């Protein structure tokens, strides 16, 4: 699980994005998943801050950093990862699936580098350890990352979409990647809870219900004891299959008792 | 890993969706991740098929089923799961985080139910096994699922967004949920590849490069042997830290050799 500082050291970099809605959606995912460093390289529409769909992402859009070129946007990072939908292009780069790639990124963010100066002149200066920063690049909606963009990457990552429709919407791709990066099955929250384990009714409670149900079936005309010899057994098995919970047994018996009463007093108001 | 049939048995149900762009984006994610059953309950804009952002999702939008009410949309399902961003509402339902909930859904989709009739009259009719179908519900952008919608659910699922900004864009929430449902770290694809393990250059190759580099440093005036006594050792350590790969050692030596030649022949064309 990444710390807040480590989350802040992932730079989400959008290159040549055309649609301000996608910038807004990406910013929203950045905020949803607790990241904060959002960088735009050469966005086609510089009026991106008006991105309508960015509910709750205003702060991310305000602090977004805009760069003219990719090298400027990634200069402070030690690991550059590109995202791609492409499978069969002659890639010179390694390609990891999202889940495997996210593990490598998490590990890199969790480590710190010791600058040479700190080692030489100030061996105990733990504070001068340099946090690793990672850039995660997303290309334009139409063309993805260019070959020049790719040449800045250490390796590539892909989302496991199906072969016949590999290309995702940009905002959705960002959301899925960031979700995988914060995914942590070990972490549970206090408000999460499993379905209640229902205590089953005991045989006495089940039998009380069975008896009153049998009476209702008889009174209503559903049950014709002359044609079905083992009617009582059938009804008992029917009720057993219900798995009546203990907490509801009295309620069901009460409901049926009321029905029986009404069947016996059809004209009573 | 779910089969194609099992993927088709997950109904992605959007309830009271307002924005056609979100319907388009949701449909695109349905297609990206290999699902196919897309249902809309009472969409605010019935002109949803024009949803602009739905690149590649035309087929999903064409075959989308529109219902007036939720009960109609989920009638053929045996497990109904609602999605929610809400944490602290007085929920009567169990709440699972996405990763845990997805496991339960996968398990349900992978099982089949034996209809009673097949068991009784035609014991060997495996073909009559009824596949389990699951409905995954997404509420409106503004209000989420209503209390009435929630009363149809067996349990709820939430995406682990951060407390301060829990509410996701609808299209992104659908994408993240479906990604988790098809996520399978055991499955690898032939075109994925890890970064090349580089064979390091051997001592002879490294020393050849070190020698030519030292010559270049000397010729260029970078190195002043009179002031640095252990210059050769320093340069050797500098080169060792590079971890020169074997495949590039000759290239680097050649580059430096050319530089040395030019330094020796400054006026040669």
- Which has the higher per-residue pLDDT, B121 or B133? B133
ipTM score assigned to the predicted complex: 0.83
User: Per-residue pLDDT for B269 more than 90?
Assistant: no
Please list the helix, strand and coil fractions of chain B in percent, rounded to the nearest 5, in that order.
45, 15, 40
Q: Contacts of residue B95 in chain A, CB cutoff 8 Å?
A: 191-193
Asked whether A138 and A174 are in contact (CB, 8 A), the reply is: yes
Q: Kindly determine whether residue B175 and residue A180, on different chains, have CB atoms separated by under 8 Å.
A: no
Compare CB distances from B161 to A21, A32, A167 and report the shortest one's residue: A32
Position A126 pLDDT exceeds 80: no
Q: Are A142 and A18 in contact (CB under 8 A)?
A: yes
Percent of chain B with pLDDT over 70: 86
CATH topology of domain B4-182: Alpha/beta knot (3.40.1280)
CB nearest A25 (choices: B32, B172, B185): B172
Q: Does the CB of B193 have a partner CB in chain A at under 8 Å?
A: yes
Average pLDDT score over residue span A201-217: 92
Asked if B56's CB is within 8 angstroms of A167's CB, the reply is: yes
CA-based nearest residue to B39, from B160, B143, B133, B156: B133
Instruction: Quote the CA–CA distance of A52 and B96 in Å, as a whole number.
Output: 31
Which residues are CB-contacts of B25 (< 8 A; sequence separation ≥ 6)?
A169, A171, A172, B51, B53, B54, B170, B171, B172, B174, B175
Cβ neighbours of B21 in A, within 8 Å: 21, 53
**Whole-prediction pTM:** 0.84
Flag whether residue B36 sits within 8 Å of chain A, measured between CB atoms. no
Question: Looking at chain B, which residue has its C-alpha nearest residue A158?
Answer: B192
Residue A81 pLDDT grade (very low, low, confident, very high; cuts 50, 70, 90): very high
Model confidence over B193-206: pLDDT tens digits? 788 788 899 989 99
The whole-angstrom distance between A217's CA and the closest CA on chain B is 22
pLDDT in tens, B84-125: 987 656 677 899 999 999 999 999 999 876 666 545 555 555
Q: Do A95 and B182 touch (CB under 8 A)?
A: no
Cβ contact, residue pair A96, B154, below 8 Å: no
Nearest to A161 by CA among B183, B169, B45: B183
Residue A21: its chain B contacts at CB < 8 A?
Answer: 21, 53
Q: Where are the domains of chain A?
A: 4-182, 203-264
| Shortest distance, CA B81 to any CA of chain A (angstroms) | 12
Concatenated DSSP letters for B35-85?
--EEEEES-S-GGGGG-TT-TT-HHHHHT-EEESSHHHHTTT-SEEEEE--
CB B145 within 8 A of CB B83: yes
Task: Please indicate whether residue B148 or residue A195 has the higher confidence score (pLDDT).
Answer: B148
* Of B171, B174, B99, the residue nearest B136 (C-alpha): B174
Contact B36, B10 (CB under 8 A): no
CA distance B28 to B22: 10
**Whole-angstrom distance, CA of residue B101 vs CA of residue B56:** 28
B234 pLDDT tier (thresholds 50, 70, 90):
confident
Average confidence (pLDDT) over A207-211: 93
Q: What integer best gives the mean pLDDT of chain A?
A: 86
> What distance in Å separates residue B86's CA from the closest CA in chain A?
10
Strands B112-113 and B130-131: antiparallel
What is the edge-to-edge ordering of all strands in the sheet holding B37-41? B65-67, B37-41, B10-15, B134-138, B79-83, B155-158, B95-97
Beta strands A112-113 and A130-131, pairing class:
antiparallel
Asked if the C-beta of A259 comes within 8 angstroms of chain B's C-beta atoms, the answer is no
Q: Is A128 on the interface with B (CB under 8 A)?
A: no
Mean pLDDT: which of B25-39, B45-59, B109-123, B231-245 is highest? B25-39
Is a pLDDT exceeding 70 seen at residue B48? no
Q: Cβ contact (<8 Å) for B185 and A99?
A: yes
DSSP A110: H
In this complex, do A185 and B29 lie within 8 Å of one another by their Cβ atoms? Answer: no
Cα separation, B102 vs B108, whole angstroms? 10
Nearest by CB to A172, which of B95, B96, B172? B172
Question: 200-229 in B: which are within 8 Å (CB) of A?
Answer: none
Considering only residues A199 and B10, tell me which one the structure prediction assigns the higher pLDDT: B10
A165 contact B CB<8A: yes
pLDDT at B216 over 80: yes
Position B169 confidence tier, pLDDT thresholds 50, 70, 90: very high
Q: What are the chain A neighbours of B94 within 8 Å (beta carbons)?
A: 193-196
Question: In this complex, how many residue pairs, one in chain A and one in chain B, have their CB atoms less than 8 Å apart?
Answer: 139
């Amino acid at each position: 699980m990444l710390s807040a500082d480590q989350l802040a050291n992932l730079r989400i970099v959008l290159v040549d994005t055309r649609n301000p809605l996608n910038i807004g959606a990406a910013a929203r995912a950045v905020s949803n998943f607790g990241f904060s460093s959002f960088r735009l390289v050469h966005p086609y529409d510089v009026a991106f801050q008006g991105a309508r769909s960015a509910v709750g992402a205003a702060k991310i859009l305000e602090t977004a950093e805009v760069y003219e070129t990719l090298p400027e946007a990634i200069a402070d990072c030690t690991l550059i990862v590109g995202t791609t939908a492409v499978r069969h292009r002659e890639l010179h780069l390694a390609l990891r699936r999202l889940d495997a790639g996210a593990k490598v990124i998490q590990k890199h963010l969790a480590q710190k580098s010791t600058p040479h100066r700190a080692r030489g002149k100030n061996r105990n200066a733990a504070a001068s350890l340099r946090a690793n920063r990672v850039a995660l690049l997303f290309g334009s909606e139409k063309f993805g990352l260019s070959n020049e963009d790719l040449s800045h990457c250490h390796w590539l990552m892909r989302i496991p979409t199906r072969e016949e429709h590999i290309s995702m919407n940009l905002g959705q791709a960002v959301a899925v990647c960031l979700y995988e990066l914060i995914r942590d099955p070990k972490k549970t929250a206090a408000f999460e809870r499993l379905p209640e384990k229902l205590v089953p009714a005991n045989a006495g409670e089940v039998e009380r219900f069975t008896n009153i149900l049998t009476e209702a079936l008889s009174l209503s005309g559903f049950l014709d004891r002359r044609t079905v010899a083992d009617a009582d057994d059938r009804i008992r098995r029917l009720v057993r299959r219900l798995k009546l919970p203990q907490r509801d047994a009295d309620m069901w018996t009460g409901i049926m008792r009321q029905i029986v009463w009404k069947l016996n007093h059809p004209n009573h108001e």
